[in-house]
Amino acid sequence: MRPVVTEVRGDSRLPNAVDLVVIGGGIIGCSAAFWAAEQGLRVALVEKGRIAGEQSGRNWGWVRRMGRAAAEYPLGIESLKLWQGLNERTARDTGFRRGGIVYAARTDRERAWLAGVEAEAARFGLAVARMDKAALAATFPGARLSDTEGLMTADDGRAEPALAAPALAEGARDKGAVLLTGCAVRTLETEAGQVSAVVTERGVIRCRAVILAAGAWSRLFCGNLGIDLPQVRIRSSVLRTAPVKGGPELALGNGRFGIRPRLDGGYTVARRGRTPVQLTPDVLRQAPRFARGLLKNRREIALTLDGSLIEDLRTPRTWQGDAITPFEACRVLDPEPQGAILARALRDVAQAFPALDGVQVLERWGGIIDVTPDGVPVIDHAPGLPGLVIATGFSGHGFGLGPGAGQLAGELATGRTTLVDPAPFRLDRFGGGRTATARQGAIAQPPTP
Ligand SMILES: Cc1cc2nc3c(=O)[nH]c(=O)nc-3n(C[C@H](O)[C@H](O)[C@H](O)COP(=O)(O)OP(=O)(O)OC[C@H]3O[C@@H](n4cnc5c(N)ncnc54)[C@H](O)[C@@H]3O)c2cc1C
């Protein structure tokens, strides 16, 4: 089931040539396109399905700095500053509000995790408040939380996934960008080893700079170009409730659930804790790189077998620019929500917040998260393919990073000074590179517009 997201109409005209093509209309691609259009560049944003159709329209809407890996903190801090100005810059409501976020814990393991989060936050000068049971009770009046400790960042916030990427996309169009929806990018063309065009299902757009912000599809796209990008897919589920009074005013995450107040007066609810990872041939191929992460998080991960195994076997890994690609075969990744997991989350939420007992559920949906071996994104020049920048692998927390990550990708693609040091996001931290069989310019016959 698709969550309701603000519809963005695509433009009908395919430009012949632009300065920058952005592949993917999620929060990263839309942020990059918006930033580049603001800089006065000629931009085309190309999306195979709908703007915010995948992760960026399906997430919890948390915009946080707290709880990030050290590698992400500077980008998280810059992104929050950017979120603050986005409503004005796009002349639209992204739903961003600095509402505060609380993490709470009740077991020794959760408390140890919280202590680590607190130490990391202190290292980056982030103001976090430690909460005891009384402080938790004062922050969530009427709640029956079994958690005994908490950490709060009063000025972390939230935004609405249904609004944010569409606002950025429309904002980019206001500044001259062309938005192509329902238009898959099949591959890239090169001249003398440098990117010279993107090949879309509607024709070729000439350009010397491309940002690949294709979320869960980036590994497949890169693989066809001979670039080894480690990335696996994880399924997750979310629900939203009808408006209800007396629930929490801050977003809260503990060992059992995550809950966020929505602009419409309802709540976005999901389960925190054990995450199912689908076993597929592609996951097995990548097992050595993911082994450490899987081992470290073994209590949070459940390996499962389902229909994605067959789907993976059927998916072609290489193709030419004149062929129908997997991107056209699946316009929008729309997995079934996991009913039992959501029921449990809602039960735990209702236990903690009596105001939500019996609340009406308006929507349930699934989402596919793209994860790298260390849970940190790749924002980097593609190895051996000048002109291509990869911005992907946000591992379940890229919505909050969106504005900064999009800008960083844009700065890399255009050779400008970057807002943060991009070194932690380099692809070569996983080894690999580009194979000799890279399919540059592997286009038998470019499709005609
Ligand atoms: C259930 C869930 C909860 C989450 N909660 C949070 C949260 O609270 N806070 C947070 O910070 N993050 C959260 N995340 C993670 C966050 O949503 C993602 O990290 C972020 O949205 C990734 O954005 P993206 O633009 O990289 O990818 P996406 O939003 O997935 O966008 C990629 C786009 O590329 C398009 N595309 C792919 N291939 C092609 C092609 N060849 N041609 C054209 N288009 C193509 C796809 O159709 C897609 O629209 C959550 C994710 C999920 C699923």
What's the pLDDT tens digit per position in 38-66? Answer: 999 999 999 999 999 999 999 999 999 99
Question: Do 438 and 385 touch, CB atoms closer than 8 A?
Answer: yes
Closest atom of ligand 1 relative to the 367 alpha carbon: 53
Instruction: Give the dihedral of Cα atoms 51, 330, 46, 444; nearest 10 deg.
Output: 180
Residues above pLDDT 70, as percent of the chain: 96
Picking from 28-37, 146-155, 240-249, 428-437, which range would have the lowest pLDDT averaged per residue? 428-437
Asked if the model's pLDDT at residue 438 lies above 60, the reply is no
**Ligand 1 touching residue 26 (CB < 6 A):** yes
Q: How far is the CA of 358 from the centre of ligand 1 (A)?
A: 31
How far CA 330 is from CA of 230, 324, 354, in Å, comes to 21, 11, 41
Task: Output the six-digit token pair for 133.
Answer: 């049971």
Picking from 172-176, 331-335, 398-402, 436-440, which range would have the lowest pLDDT averaged per residue? 436-440
pLDDT in tens, 82-103: 999 999 999 999 999 999 999 9
**Ligand 1 touching residue 62 (CB < 6 A):** yes
Q: How far is the CA of 382 from the centre of ligand 1 (A)?
A: 20
**Ligand 1 touching residue 140 (CB < 6 A):** no
Name which of 287, 148, 155, 163 is nearest 230 in CA terms: 287
Q: What is the pLDDT of residue 441?
A: 34
Q: How far is the CA of 189 from the centre of ligand 1 (A)?
A: 25
Q: In residues, how long is the chain?
A: 449
**Ligand 1 touching residue 253 (CB < 6 A):** no
d(CA 128, CA 235): 31
Q: What is the pLDDT of residue 446?
A: 28
Closest atom of ligand 1 relative to the 53 alpha carbon: 49
Q: What is the pLDDT of residue 436?
A: 46
Ramachandran quadrant class, 387 (left: phi over 0; alpha: psi -120 to 50; beta: rest): left
Query: Chain-centre distance of CA 277, in angstroms?
Result: 17
Instruction: From 56, 210, 219, 259, give the residue whose CB has the most ligand 1 atoms within 8 Å, as the site to mutate.
Output: 56
Domain boundaries, the chain: 20-430
Phi, psi of 119 (to 5 degrees): -65, -45
Q: What is the pLDDT of residue 398?
A: 98
Given 3.40.718.10, 3.50.50.60, 3.40.50.2300, 3.40.190.150, which CATH number is that of 20-430?
Answer: 3.50.50.60
**Ligand 1 touching residue 185 (CB < 6 A):** yes
Q: How far is the CA of 393 from the centre of ligand 1 (A)?
A: 9
Picking from 51-55, 263-267, 276-280, which range would have the lowest pLDDT averaged per residue? 276-280
**Ligand 1 touching residue 3 (CB < 6 A):** no
Long-range contacts at 266-269 (CB < 8 A, ≥ 24 apart)? 266/240, 266/241, 266/242, 266/362, 267/240, 267/241, 267/349, 267/356, 267/359, 268/60, 268/61, 268/238, 268/239, 268/240, 269/238, 269/239, 269/240, 269/241, 269/342, 269/345, 269/346, 269/349
Confidence of residue 1 (pLDDT cuts 50, 70, 90): confident
Residue with CA at minimum distance from ligand 1 atom 33: 24
